[in-house]
Copies of this chain bind each other. A is one copy, B any other.
Amino acid sequence: MSFIFKDSISLSIFGSSHGELVGCTLGGIPSGIKIDLALISRWMERRAPGKSSLTTQRKESDEVKIVSGVVDGYTDGGAITMLISNSDVISKHYDELRDNPRPGHGDISLFIKYGDHRNFSGGGFLSGRMTAPLVAAGSIALGILNDRGIEISSYLEQMGEIRCPGNQYVREEEIYRHETRMPDTTSDSRASEMLKKLASEGDSTGGIIGTHIMNVPPGIGEPLFDSVESVLSHLTFSIPGVKGIEFGSGFAMSSMKGSESNDPFEWKDGRFVSAKNHNGGILGGIAYGNPIYFRTAMKPTSSIRIEQDTINVRTHEHEKIVVKGRHDPCIAIRAVPVVNSAAALGILDLFLRSGKFR
C-alpha cells in the first residue's frame, strides 16, 4: 500500500533510479482542464539535475510523456499517466555498495525490508529520482490552483548556517533565477561559495525550505485526521531527505506565551486574516483565510565522497566505502520544486474534498 496516496485525488508513483523509467498515475482530476505542457516542462527543468555547477552532473532530459488522461490538450476525466525515461544511468558505481550500505542512506532499509530481490542500484525506489514524477503531478495540480488564484511559493530559506533574510511570498521567477533558490542575491552568492567548497571537499549540507500558499480557499482542511497539517506533512515526508516540518512559527511557538502567539483577526478583502500568522494560516486543522506557511527541514545529502565506515550487511564485518557517482552537495536546492509540488497536490486534494471546488 506504499506507493499510493489516495483520497480525493490519487497519486501512484512507480519506477526506480536505475530502471527504465519513472512515472506516475494521477487520478481524480476533473475533466475539461487545459494541460499546460510548458508549465510541466518548466517545473521539471527546475528539479532536473545537471542544470548548474551546484547540482549533480547526471544529465536527464526529464521529458514528461503523457500517455493517458489527456485528449487534445484537455483532461478527459481518466487517470493521467506520465512517463519519464531514465537516461544517462551509470550503475557500475553501485556494485561495490551492494552489501555495504551508505551511512545515512536507505540502502540498509532496502536490504532489511526486501532482502535478496531488492531493487538496489542507485537507491532503487528510495532514490530522489522518484521525485521527478511527483513534480510532474504537482505541476498539473499547481496549474489547476493557479487558474483559481491560488499561488504556492517555496524557496530555500536556509542552507547550512546561511539564512536568507525575510520570510514572505516571492514570485517564482524571482526564486528560480537564483541558482541556490535563495531569492536574495547576497545569500545566493554566499551559498554558492559554500557549495563549491563542499563539492571540492566531497561533503554536503542540509537546508530549510519555506513555503507560502496564497489565497487558500477558507474552510479547506478537515478536523482531526485530515487537518491541513496532516495532509501536507503526509505528502511532504514522502520526499526523500525530509526530516522535519513546522507550520507558522512551529517549534518557536513552544517557547512563546499565549498572549504573544495569539493573533487577533481582521476582516480584509473578503477574508479573515491575522497579522502575525504564528499559526501558519491554519486553526483547528482548517485554513481560515491567512496564507498558509510551513517550513521543511532537509538533511544533508548522505552520498558524500569522503571515505566512511560501514558494515557488510551479510558478514557484519566493518568496511570502508567511498561513494562514487554524481551527487548534489545540497539536495535541498533541487527539493525546492518538489516541496512546492507536494504542497500543490495536498491543497488540491483538500480543495476537492471540501465541496467548494468549481
Interface residues of A (CB under 8 A from B): 1-8, 10-16, 19-23, 25, 27-28, 30-32, 67-69, 71-72, 74-81, 83, 101-110, 112-119, 123-126, 130, 158-161, 198, 203-208, 218-219, 221-227, 229-231, 233-235, 237-238, 240, 242-251, 253-267, 272, 274, 278-280, 283-289, 295, 297-304, 306, 308-311, 313, 316, 332, 352-353, 355, 357
Contact = CB atoms under 8 A, between A and B. Distances in A.
5 contacts: A12-B27, A14-B79, A19-B68, A112-B288, A227-B238
A contact face: mostly helix, strand, loop, or mixed: mixed
A65 to B, nearest CB: 9
Given A108-B265, A204-B258, A355-B30, A4 B1 contact: no
A222 B112 contact: no
Nearest to A297: B251
Contacts of A32: 114-117
A315 to B, nearest CB: 9
Contacts of A243: 229, 246-251, 253, 279-280
A264 to B, nearest CB: 4
A162 to B, nearest CB: 9
A190 B304 CA distance: 44
Given A117-B75, A223-B126, A255-B161, A103 B240 contact: no
Given A3-B78, A77-B118, A244-B247, 15 more contacts: A2-B28, A4-B4, A4-B10, A4-B79, A14-B81, A19-B67, A78-B119, A104-B258, A104-B279, A109-B286, A112-B286, A245-B245, A254-B299, A258-B300, A258-B306
B206 A16 contact: no
Contact of A224 (B19, B30, B116, B238): B238
Nearest to A357: B355
Contacts of A161: 255
A251 B253 contact: no
A257 B205 contact: yes
A308 B1 CA distance: 45
A240 B193 CA distance: 42
A101 to B, nearest CB: 7
A237 B244 contact: no
A264 B159 CA distance: 24
Given A2-B27, A72-B117, A316-B267, A262 B304 contact: yes
A251 B254 contact: no
A11 B226 CA distance: 12
